[in-house]
Structure 1
Amino acid sequence: MSQDGFRTGEIDTSRPHPARIYDYLLGGKDNYEVDQQAGDQLASAAPEVRIGVKANRAFLQRAVRYVVSSGVRQILDVGTGLPTAPNVHETAHEVAPDVRVAYVDNDPIVKAHADALLSRSGATSIVLADLRDP
């Protein structure tokens, strides 16, 4: 078991999950009722959370566009979270189709979703790994 309580490959849909709550707050579709309830509780306690997650996503897109337009052709996205459109590789490829993106996350839920999404994209990959365990 890892430090965050997940066994490799274990996906528990009966408990709220941070990546799925984030997806819900962004208006995504990769979440469950338990995540929606937790997200609504969070938004009730801190109404600015929805604005914050959308601002965070907008910043990510601006940053990717900037670095790619500056000539960067390889991106390492550590702690990627659930794939939410537009993804880093989609944003990067809008600027330069030859950009290569490697996603890294320590969450098996994130990896499962990313594997399904990235099966259609040739210049991207996902690795299940933990930054705290290089």
Structure 2
Amino acid sequence: MWMKDNQVDNKNPIDLQEIYRNVLVLSENLVALAQSGEWETLVSRETEYVLAVENLTKLTQAFEKQQPITEEFIQLLHKIIENERVTKEYLQQHLNFLSKEIKQLDQKRVLNNSYGQFDEPDTPLVVRPME
């Protein structure tokens, strides 16, 4: 793998396909978390995923001459990209939901503040019969 100052350790062979598969599994996990609405876990795993993609990018650049990009690599990459698209779609839906909820809470607060100024609990309400 990587050593100090981004030097490559050639003693341990690197299987790029296996690394691509691992990143694919991480991306599938993110999709599953988004589908089930586990947003806090999704956000914490997103960091792990981003680091794995960065590592994959570095390793691919370092080893692409030794391990040429095959059709399988391309298929794995397409699946990873599709999973990212699906995850972003779920995140956007959740963001829209949260925005709507915040807007409703703000409107409720404004209404409560507006009508609250007429509510004076210390002043008794006197009802007089009509004449």
TM-score bracket for this pair, using the shorter chain length: 0.3 to 0.5
Q: Which TM-score applies when normalising by structure 1? A: 0.33
Higher relative contact order (Cα pairs below 8 Å, separated by 6+ residues):
2
Identify, as 1 or 2, the structure richer in strand. 1
The TM-score, its normalising length taken from structure 2, stands at: 0.33
The structure with more radius of gyration = 2
